[in-house]
Structure formats: structure tokens, C-alpha cells
Structure 1
Amino acid sequence: MQTYKPSVSLIRATSYESAALRESLTTLLEPLGGITAFVKPGQKVLLKPNLLTGARPTKECTTRAELVYEVAKMVIEAGGKPFLGDSPAFGSAKGVAIANGYLPLIQELNLPIVEFHGQRYQTVSENFNHLLLCKEAMEADVIINLPKVKSHLQLTLTMGVKNLFGCVPGKMKAWWHMEAGKDANRFGEMLVETAKTINPDLTILDGIIGHEGNGPSGGEPRNLGILAAASNVFALDRAILEILNVSPQKVPTVAASQRLGVCPELDAIEFPLLHPDLLQISDWRLPDKLMPIDFAMPRVIKSTFKHLYIRFIKEPMNTYSRG
């Protein structure tokens, strides 16, 4: 009996320039069947970038607008109807996107942006029956996950699985840090359950320029020169760890996915283009010191008020002044 092996496509890529990036994405997706293997005419397609913050637009804290633009164009050419969606830590998805240079692509392609903080939620699983996900994400016909590879002060690294935590609405993410963050194993399992439930059709990881050190926002840009794609987000994350020379046990999401039996071993993954060994580096900088995952109640309250201030006062004022 033939055993299914998940496939992770890896290439070297060094440019966000439109023509070069389009060629890179075409090459990257070709072994997976191209974009038409994932998107059919008329389908609603969620593009889920990492829209962490608008505070450091030059520090590679978010998925590059150029990458989202090229993927969106490919979706449109395949007959799909793309929209952007996320729930940033601070501010609105639209505000963070605009701060990071997304406005021209939003306007040119007429891309809707859905704020994942509405009231239409869906429960994740029996093990986490009060963890809710935005139905706008769950009701998309196709989900294309567009993470940025970054070091992370609490989780060592953030890649494909962690990026899907953005489908948890608004400040519920902070409450989950408080509820599950005292146990890194449980927090990792919560993120894995979230990713399993969302089950993205395709993950394309932005690793042309990553973010190393004290991420997800306090580190510095790092030229990494890779793009990765897979239909299995757990296999993709495992492959990236091999490139960065980081043990799976140091990353709660990957360790949890291994415990739960959803992360394949490296030798059980197909690499149709480049093997991770050919892209491996030895000097990727992890956080100087890991911080606790859990948020104390005062921090959650402070974070909530800051989020509300940015969303309802600061961003509207900036929009008014630009107008």
C-alpha cells in the first residue's frame, strides 16, 4: 500500500520585485499543481497574512505587501475572489495593512479586508470548547495562509501554525495567553488544534527577509532568501526548523504537533525542489531570553484598553487627518 507523504516546496528567492517574485511563486507552486490546484472559479479565498503591528513598518514584522499582491493576482487569474482577514495584536487589520504599505494593492485589486473581531464565532474543538474562531475565516471556500518567518519571545519561532492564531477574534487571544499560557505544552496544543480546525488549503511562507532576535516585533530584519509552500502546514513548519537549525522541542507549536501525531518526521516529507539541508544556516538569532507565555490580568486589561484606543481613536484620527 502506498503511503501518502506530504510535500513541501522550497526555493531560493531574494527579491520582492514584481516580475521576479511572480516567477518565484510560479516555480514554488508548480510541484504542488500551481494555484489552480487550490483555487477554482467563483470561490471565496481568504488570504491570511501576518498583520502583527503597524508600529515598525521597516522591520519586517509583517508579511510583505508585495507577496500578498502577487498571490492575490494569481487567485484572481484562477477565477477566485480573494479577501484579506486578520486580527492584529493592536489596531485594526486595515490600519496595520495600510501602515505596512498595503494600500496600493488594496485599491488596485479592490481587495476587501475583514476584521476578525465580529460577533459570529465558531467553536474550535471539544478539548478547547471555549476557544472561538471567526466564522468569516471558517466559511471561506479556500484559505491561503501567508505567514512571515520570525523569532518569537514566547514561542521561539512563529511560522505557519502560529499565524493562524490571528483567526481568533480580537482580544480573545490575550485571554488565551492568560488561560493556557501557564503551560507551554497546553498553549502549543491549543495553537495546533486551532490550525487543525482552520486547516488551510495552502501555506506560503515569506522568508525572503525574515525577522530574527527578539521578535515577533522587537527584533531585526534578516536576509534569509527562501520561499516555502505546502498544503500541510505542520510539515512546512518542521522543514523551516531544519533550515534554521532549531530543535523541534524548542518550539511549542512544533513539539505539540509531534506529540499529537500531526507533524511528520523530516524523512516522511517530500521535497520536490530543494531539500532543507541545501538551505540550512547556522547563525539565525533566536530571542535573547524567552518570556512567559501567560499574561497576568493587569496586562490583559492594559492590552485591551490599548487595542481599543488604537482601533477607535488613533486610527480614525489618522484617517481623518489624511483625508
Structure 2
Amino acid sequence: MPRVSLLRATSYDLDHLSASLEELLAPLGGMAAIVQPGDRVLLKPNLLTGARPKQECVTRPELVYCVAKMVQAAGGRPFLGDGPAFGSALGVARSNGYLPYIQELNLPVIEFHGDRYATDNPEFAHLRLSKEAMAADVVINLPKVKSHVQLTLTLGVKNLFGCVPGKMKAWWHMEAGKDADRFGRMLVETARAIAPDLTIMDGIIGHEGNGPSGGTPRPLHVLGASRDVFALDRAFVAILNVDPERIPTQRAATALGYNYELSEIEFPLAQPHELTIRDWQLPQQMMPIDFGAPRVLKSTFKHLYIRWIKEPLTAYSQKA
């Protein structure tokens, strides 16, 4: 039976957050049960965009900092990586206030590079995934709770789509986006291939409405953790009081046999019904998952502009 640890948490203050994370992970055996001395540990936050740094579009740097310190205390060697749709991981991290925390811990920030990996699903016989994620000894998935105009919600499974490098994500939107269920299955198989060793959900403040970046911050006061990303997602869908059938990743996980009923999950701390949000705002209007060729080209040029022109100019101006 998968175990999902849920905890009410109200602050990103480092002392309070560190204590909350210790309590959260205790029922899972603590960080020492997941990270062994010498392990190379990928921390995979949601680094969606640097364009809205005050709108809770990304995993908070305080959470990443506290988790990295826990990894170091267990003897692991953490590094941070993501594959933002626009710009670089370091550029998006810098725009969202990560730099002081990265510098204090001497935390490497890497860009993802792809290779093909086989899956058990013949529909997706090979997926192009981050070599850095697949080669890590431990993957710690650090998603942000957000509504999503294409997928209803983005949680732990969707966050691992960031391990698809570069503009391959746009290609998948074009190739599989015409069928929401197929796109959901691709996301589920990506999550299975990455197979995170631990997922910690940043739900202290979420992002509701027209997410993943066009909505508004919403305090939820919840942290969650599990070694089973599908069980954790299912718990948060219940907390947000959303019908799982509205979410392509939930439908796909159920169809493929990886999802759970709440009765099949052990909750050693808080129960989902004790943390339920009754008025979480979903997108006002859903958008197609499909990216046509013009949108893919526009997206590619935007990514290149941010990555090779805007980010270097911003970094230079901050040093001047």
C-alpha cells in the first residue's frame, strides 16, 4: 500500500519549513531512507517561467533550499535541473529568486540533454528524456500545485514532463495533443520512466485559475510527500475537490492501472478530507493541448530569444 504524507504548513520561513519537511518525511523513513552517502540527487522543481516571479508559477526556492540541505545532511550530492519551455533552468531560477540559495549551497544547476529510452508501453516504445535525470542515483520531484488551462491540474506527474528536454515538449504537444487521453498516457509513461524516488508537493501557496502561469496565487497551506507520485497526485486531486475524470493524467493513470482509490492509500499524518479546499478555481476556459506547426515555430523562436539574448543581457545588467 503506498504511503502519502500530508501536513498542514503555513510558511516558507526557512526554520518553519525545515521543521515541516522533517515531520513530513518522518513517516517515509526520513531523507536518509531515500538518499545514501555519495548519491547524485536530481532536484526537479517546476521552473516554468521567469516572466511572473511574484505569481507562484514555480516551486518556491525556499523549498528547494531546504530539501537540498536535507540531501546534503544525508550525504548526498544534490544538483538542480529542469527543462523550461522558455529560457534556461538557471535563467528561470535566477528570475525567481533562487540565486542566493544556489550560491549558499554551491548547488549546481544543469541543463537537460536528451536521449531515447525504452518503455514498457508499445504506444510509446521510446521516449526522449533527460540523460541527466535518467543517470541520477536519486530523483526528487518538487512540483507546484497549479491549475492548468490544457490539463486542468498540474501536479507531480505533469512536473516530470520537464524532463523531456528542450523543444521536444512542443513536438509532443503537436504529435499527441490532438488526443487528450493519448497525451495523458504519454505524461504517465514519462513519469514511469523517470520513476522519481520521492515527490514533495509545494502546496503552501498554489496557483489557481488560468494556470500554469496566467492565474493567481492561492494559499492552500499543505505539503505532501510520497515515494509514489501517482498516489500523491490522487491525494491532491481529492484535496482540491476536483473530479479525477476531468484530468487527463488521472484518466490515463487509471486506464493503465497505476492510479489508486483513496482507500488504497495509507495516510500516516493528515487525511485528505481534513485539508480539503472547497472553492479551488479551475481554468475559466480550457485551451487545446495541440500545438500546430506555427505555434511550435513561434515557441522555438521565443525560447531561443530568451535563452541566448534576454537572459545573457539580464545577467550582464545585474553584474554591472
TM over 0.5: yes
CA distance in structure 2 between the aligned counterparts of 1:56 and 1:155, rounded to whole angstroms:
20
Contact kept? 1:47, 1:146, Cα under 8 Å? yes
Question: 1:42-73 deviations in whole A, cap 9, x for unaligned?
Answer: 00000000000000000000000000000000
- Asked whether the equivalents of residues 124 and 133 of structure 1 are also in contact (C-alpha less than 8 Å), the reply is no
Partner of 2:301: 305
RMSD: 0.8
8 Å contact 1:52–1:61 — kept in the other structure? yes
Please state how far the C-alpha of 1:319 moved relative to its aligned partner: 1.3
1:88 aligns with one of 84, 109, 118 = 84
Query: Among 199, 215, 219, which residue is 2:215 paired with?
Result: 219
Matched, 1:151 2:147: yes
Are residue 112 (structure 1) and residue 108 (structure 2) matched? yes
Task: Tell me, yes or no, if the aligned pair for 1:49 and 1:146 is still in contact at 8 Å.
Answer: yes
Equivalence for 1:188: 184
1:232-289 deviations in Å (ceiling 9; x for gaps): 0000000001100001100100110000001111100000001101111110000001
Q: Which whole-Å deviations, capped at 9, do the CAs of 1:123-159 have from their partners, x for residues lacking one?
A: 2424223530011110000000000000000000000
Structure 2 equivalent of residue 121 of structure 1: 115
- Secondary structure at 1:321's aligned position in 2? helix
Question: Unaligned 5+ residue runs, structure 1?
Answer: none
Q: Please, which of 193, 200, 216 is the counterpart of residue 196 of structure 2?
A: 200
2:68 counterpart (67, 72, 75): 72
CA contact (8 A) 2:116 2:126 kept: no
SS at match of 1:229: strand
8 A contact 1:213–1:220 mirrored in 2: yes
Residues 15-34 of structure 1 aligned to structure 2 (within 5 Å): 15-34=11-30
Q: Residue 234 of structure 1 aligns to which amino acid in structure 2?
A: F
Is the Cα contact below 8 Å between 1:124 and 1:193 reproduced in 2? no
Kept in 1: contact 2:7–2:224 (CA 8 A) = yes
Q: Secondary structure at the match of 2:123?
A: coil
Q: Does 1:229 align with 2:225?
A: yes
Do the aligned partners of 1:161 and 1:192 also contact (CA within 8 Å) in 2? yes
Distance 1:124 1:213, change over 3 A: farther
Which residue number corresponds to residue 256 of structure 1?
252
What do residues 99-140 of structure 1 show as CA deviations (whole Å, max 9, x unaligned)? 000000110001111111x3x513242422353001111000
Q: Deviations over 1:151-178 (max 9, x none)?
A: 0000000000000000000000000000
The residue type paired with residue 77 of structure 1 is A
Alignment-derived partner of residue 137 in structure 1: 133
Aligned length: 317
CA-CA distance at 1:41 after TM superposition: 0.2
SS at match of 1:262: coil
Separation in structure 1 between the aligned mates of residue 266 and residue 64 of structure 2, nearest angstrom: 26
Contact 1:86 1:93 in 2 (8 A): yes
CA distance in 2 between partners of 1:37 and 1:267 (Å): 25
Task: Determine what percentage of the aligned residue pairs are the same residue.
Answer: 69
Distance 2:2 2:126 in 1: 31
DSSP 3-state at the match of 1:131 = strand
Counterpart residue identity of residue 174, structure 1: A
Q: Structure 2 regions of 5+ residues with no counterpart?
A: none
Distance 1:222 1:303 in 2: 28
Secondary structure, counterpart of 2:124 in structure 1: coil
The list of structure 1 runs, each at least 4 consecutive aligned residues, that deviate by more than 6 angstroms after superposition, is none
Name the structure 2 match of 1:14.
10
- Which residue does the alignment assign to 2:240? 244
Q: Do the aligned partners of 1:124 and 1:194 also contact (CA within 8 Å) in 2?
A: no
Equivalent residue letter for 1:49: P
